[in-house]
Amino acid sequence: MGRWEVTEPIADGGWGRVYEGRDTAEAPEGEDGAAGGRVALKFLPTSGLAPRQAERLAETARREIEFGSRAHHPRLMRLLDSAVLGDSEVPGLDGAVVLVMERAESSLQDLLDAAGGKPLPEADRLLTEILEGLAHLHRLGWVHGDLKPDNVLIMADGSLRLSDFGLTAELEGTRGTHGYIPPLGSPDYLPPERWRAPLDERGVQVRPTADVWALGVMIHQVFTGGTSPFPGATFTSRASAVQEYAEGRAPLRLHVVVPEFWRALAADCLLPAHTERAAHTSESLLERVRAAGHGDDHPVARQRSGRRAAALAAGAAVALLGAGGAAWWQWGYSEGGVGRTGQLARLSVYNADTKCRARTDRHPTCSLGLAIDPTAPYVLDNVVQTRVWHGDALAVECAQERGVPITDEVGVRSSRWYRIRLPAAEKGPKSERTTAWLPEVRTRSHPAVPACAG
């Protein structure tokens, strides 16, 4: 196809196919070429489509071409070329629209599929780069309209690109507040207002706050290995959960595995009304991320890079031990906490969250988790059912000095863990056990205990 040689298939979609290709002209990088000559060619055949379908596909391609020709940023996928095939030797491709883009290696969805329900490595960097692309897109006056993990592509160097701009809409109106797109999109990433949006000849109205909502869902997924913040086995049941939340009949339940900083950010992204979400633009969210030291190009991040690398390696440990945001899948908790267990040394549990320290009702949202294995990432499979609260007195058997490093809400960090005695053997799928582990950051006691064997 012109200067592009089609080599092998990459993927199939609802509208067409994507192939790997090679730039036979080998144009220099920066002059409409591609690094190494490798490209991706998206074929959008129109043959066999009903007139309305062909019109919709042509509109999708037009949007992608228009946006690709005007938006250039390291976090947005580059459109290198486009063409409409004519007089093709393959009748099924006659009249097909072809988009030539940079070649990606995988997608964020691929990473989530391989995560096995665990937080993604480098979650901070991934989310920061998504925000960088989204903020630039919004700054130019466009809405992505279909932001989701499938449309976040991973390049050969590990960096991210937002892609698939077929539903991208340019903002219009006197203040550039909204645009119009076809009534399409991925249900799991649609904000509450889209389910009730009226349809006219221009399509449905869309605002930047729709992308912010989708970002909130993705933040939750990145730290939970792909789990939606809205429960349900099907997209229909998850959509019902979204509506219950939007109508005030159910609270927002973000999983405690999401670190406190990102949990607060996701909660702002997932405010039920678009008017509330409008206060949290992608640019302001990016500023918050960089101010917290998560942006790679932020001076604070460079100063903390060593500490952050270690924290990322610990995975979700900080969040699961944190307070607030009770998950809709509770492991259960012991209302009585951990009590007296003989003559062992004792420590007092400390919660760094000031609001939880002030509570005496042992509310589940202020409970703290106990690990099964202090040397493994603290994810869903590494937690016991028994929960503890600020002020609980725990019996301590021994200390482990080289566990997973944990940082609490105020920045106290330690790799030391205490093996504590549970009040009774647990019953359930996690097997019967009499002990669990509490990180040193969750106490201000310093009991004199021996080192744990092994």
Report the percent of the chain where pLDDT is more than 90: 33
Q: What one-character-per-residue DSSP string does 372-397 give?
A: S-TTS--SGGGB-S--B-TT-EEEEE
Looking at residue 214, what is its pLDDT? 96
Averaged pLDDT, 196-216: 82
**Mean pLDDT lowest among 56-60, 198-202, 210-214, 294-298:** 294-298
Can you read off the two tokens belonging to residue 186? 């991925």
Q: How confident is the model at residue 332 (pLDDT cuts 50, 70, 90)?
A: very low
Say if CB 281 and CB 212 are below 8 A apart: yes
Q: How confident is the model at residue 315 (pLDDT cuts 50, 70, 90)?
A: very low
Can you read off the two tokens belonging to residue 302? 């460079």
**Residue 446 vs residue 299, higher pLDDT:** 446
Looking at residue 264, what is its pLDDT? 94
* Digit-coded pLDDT (tens) for 118-135: 899 999 999 999 999 999
Among 45, 58, 53, which residue's Cα sits nearest to residue 13?
45
Q: Is a pLDDT exceeding 60 seen at residue 304? A: no
b/e map 19-51, b = 16+ CB within 10 Å: bebbbeeeeeeeeebbeebebbbbbbbbeebee
Looking at residue 181, what is its pLDDT? 66
The residues that bridge with 154 in the sheet, in sequence order, are 106, 160
Q: How confident is the model at residue 111 (pLDDT cuts 50, 70, 90)?
A: very high
Q: Is a pLDDT exceeding 50 seen at residue 305? A: no
Q: Is a pLDDT exceeding 90 seen at residue 88? A: no
Reported in sequence order, the residue ranges of 104-246 that DSSP labels E, i.e. its strands, are 106-107, 142-143, 152-154, 160-162, 169-170, 179-181, 204-206
Q: Are strands 179-181 and 204-206 parallel, antiparallel or unpaired?
A: antiparallel
Q: Is a pLDDT exceeding 50 seen at residue 199? A: yes
* Digit-coded pLDDT (tens) for 22-49: 888 855 554 444 545 889 888 887 665 5
Q: How confident is the model at residue 110 (pLDDT cuts 50, 70, 90)?
A: very high
Alpha-helix runs per DSSP H in 101-207: 108-114, 123-139
**Residue 383 vs residue 267, higher pLDDT:** 267
Q: Is a pLDDT exceeding 90 seen at residue 285? A: yes
Q: Is a pLDDT exceeding 90 seen at residue 13? A: no
What are the structural domains of the chain?
Answer: 4-102 (3.30.200.20), 106-313 (1.10.510.10), 345-442 (no CATH)
Burial class of residue 423 (count of CB atoms within 10 Å of its CB; 0-12, 13-18, 19+): middle
What is the C-alpha to C-alpha distance for residues 94 and 88, in angstroms, rounded to an integer? 5
Averaged pLDDT, 126-145: 92
Can you read off the two tokens belonging to residue 414? 């330690």
**Residue 43 vs residue 317, higher pLDDT:** 43
Looking at residue 142, what is its pLDDT? 86
The residues that bridge with 436 in the sheet, in sequence order, are 420
Q: How confident is the model at residue 245 (pLDDT cuts 50, 70, 90)?
A: very high
Q: Is a pLDDT exceeding 60 seen at residue 202? A: yes
Q: What is the DSSP letter of 358?
A: T
* Digit-coded pLDDT (tens) for 344-401: 889 999 998 887 888 888 877 788 889 999 998 766 678 888 889 999 999 999 999 8
Q: Is a pLDDT exceeding 50 seen at residue 330? A: no
Q: Are strands 393-400 and 417-421 parallel, antiparallel or unpaired?
A: antiparallel
Report the percent of the chain where pLDDT is more than 70: 74
Q: How confident is the model at residue 318 (pLDDT cuts 50, 70, 90)?
A: very low
Looking at residue 174, what is its pLDDT? 55
Looking at residue 134, what is its pLDDT? 94
**Mean pLDDT lowest among 4-8, 247-251, 340-344, 447-451:** 340-344
Looking at residue 166, what is its pLDDT? 74
What is the C-alpha to C-alpha distance for residues 198 and 108, in angstroms, rounded to an integer? 31
Looking at residue 358, what is its pLDDT? 86
Q: How confident is the model at residue 223 (pLDDT cuts 50, 70, 90)?
A: very high
- Which residues have a Cβ under 8 Å from the Cβ of 429 and sit 6 or more positions away? none
SS3 (DSSP) at 213: helix
Is the CA virtual torsion 299, 300, 306, 308 positive or negative? negative
**Residue 15 vs residue 435, higher pLDDT:** 435
Looking at residue 373, what is its pLDDT? 92
Is the CA virtual torsion 291, 297, 299, 303 positive or negative? positive
Averaged pLDDT, 225-253: 88
The per-residue pLDDT of the chain, averaged, comes to 78
Alpha-helix runs per DSSP H in 71-161: 108-114, 123-139
Q: Is a pLDDT exceeding 60 seen at residue 163? A: yes
Q: How confident is the model at residue 203 (pLDDT cuts 50, 70, 90)?
A: confident
Can you give the C-alpha Rg of the chain in angstroms? 25
Q: What is the DSSP letter of 103?
A: P
Looking at residue 295, what is its pLDDT? 56
Looking at residue 439, what is its pLDDT? 92
Tally of CA atoms within 13 A in the half-sphere of 317 that contains its CB: 29
